Amino acid sequence: MGAGFSSLFTGEDESSLSQLPVRPSLGDLPESCVASVIRYLDPPEICKLARLNRAFRGASLADFVWEEKLPPNYQILVGKVFGYLPETWGKRDIYERLCKANTLDGGTKIVWLDKSTGGVCLSISAKGLSITGIDDRRYWNHIPTEESRFSSVAYLHQIWWFEVESEIEFPFPAGTYSIFFRLQLGRAFKRFGHRICNTEHVHGWDIKPVRFQLWTSDGQYAASQCTLSDPGKWIHYHVGDFVVGNSSSTTKIKLSMTQIDCTHTKGGICLDSLVIYPSKFRERLKQF
């Protein structure tokens, strides 16, 4: 009765309805065609579309889709980070694994790809830096914290000669990069679930500026200086920028952060890490 009732309005019986052509759907598209389109999208968008159906998922696994997303020297990066390149890894597998926080040098360094752009990022913990007086607990201590990706920071009680240095050798892809020190005046902790920052011992940073410098093995040099401020906030202090022209070579960088005016002591500062990002992220980092 239901079919007959419906046919009063459509003017068609069941046999004519069954002969209507079936409209094609997204699932009917060939994987090669889908892959040719999604290759122009950003990685997060590709991963979202992979959930639509089997055709999009298959297309999202195509090597040529991810070949363009990977850094041009990805094979060198994989060798540096993992030590080997399994034959079973496709290009998407490589991209996915490089986007994770991959540790180097006993956990003192973390390297990863930015998920959206494929840009290479590197972070070095305070334990991976050369810090004057770090072994003397009268001056420095490594303290645990949830506010660092390395789970600890170096805290300075008081010192006359403040000097932090680092030498880096890494196969950065061609591009322009910015270097920052992540610092905080004061020591943060939690009380009854609330973040509190003790700034009682912060002193000496408003008298003279801190000087930042970088040198590269191909002759680049940059320097900057600023007075540290805003106690209780983690701030990325810009050291400078450098340019990599050859993706197949290793870039050597020397960095320093100093405040060596011995007319006064300085203290009460937390040093988390040194970070290197593609310069397109520079303004975003300065906001935090």
Mean pLDDT of the chain: 87
Full DSSP string of 98-165? HTS-EEEGGGTEEEEE-TTT--EEEEEEGGGSEETTTT-TTTEEEEE-TTSTTSEEEEE--BSSEEEE
Same domain, 123 and 257: yes
pLDDT digits (tens, 9 = 90+) for 18-77: 554 556 555 555 566 777 777 778 888 888 887 877 877 777 877 888 888 999 999 999
Q: Within a 10 A sphere around the Cβ of 239, how many other Cβ atoms?
A: 24
CB within 8 A of 64, min separation 6: which ones?
35, 39, 91
Domain of 245, in residue numbers? 105-286
Same domain, 47 and 165: no
Same domain, 128 and 176: yes
Q: Is residue 81 part of a domain?
A: no
Is the pLDDT reported for residue 12 higher than 70? no
DSSP 3-state percent helix, strand, coil across the chain (nearest 5): 25, 35, 40
Same domain, 25 and 164: no
Same domain, 58 and 136: no
Same domain, 52 and 168: no
Q: Is residue 265 part of a domain?
A: yes
Phi, then psi, of 117 in degrees rounded to 5: -115, -15
38 and 59 Cβ atoms separated by less than 8 Å: yes
Same domain, 22 and 135: no
**Four-CA torsion 163, 168, 173, 175, nearest 10 degrees:** 20
Of 13, 54, 59, 11, whose CA–CA distance to 39 is shortest? 59
pTM here is 0.84
Percent of the chain predicted with pLDDT > 70: 87
Is the pLDDT reported for residue 219 higher than 70? yes
Same domain, 60 and 110: no
Q: Is residue 80 part of a domain?
A: no
The residue out of 9, 38, 67 marking a domain boundary is 67
Per the structure, the count of domains in the chain is: 2
Q: Is residue 11 part of a domain?
A: no
C-alpha–C-alpha distance, residues 37 and 9, integer Å: 42
Q: Is residue 249 part of a domain?
A: yes
Same domain, 120 and 171: yes
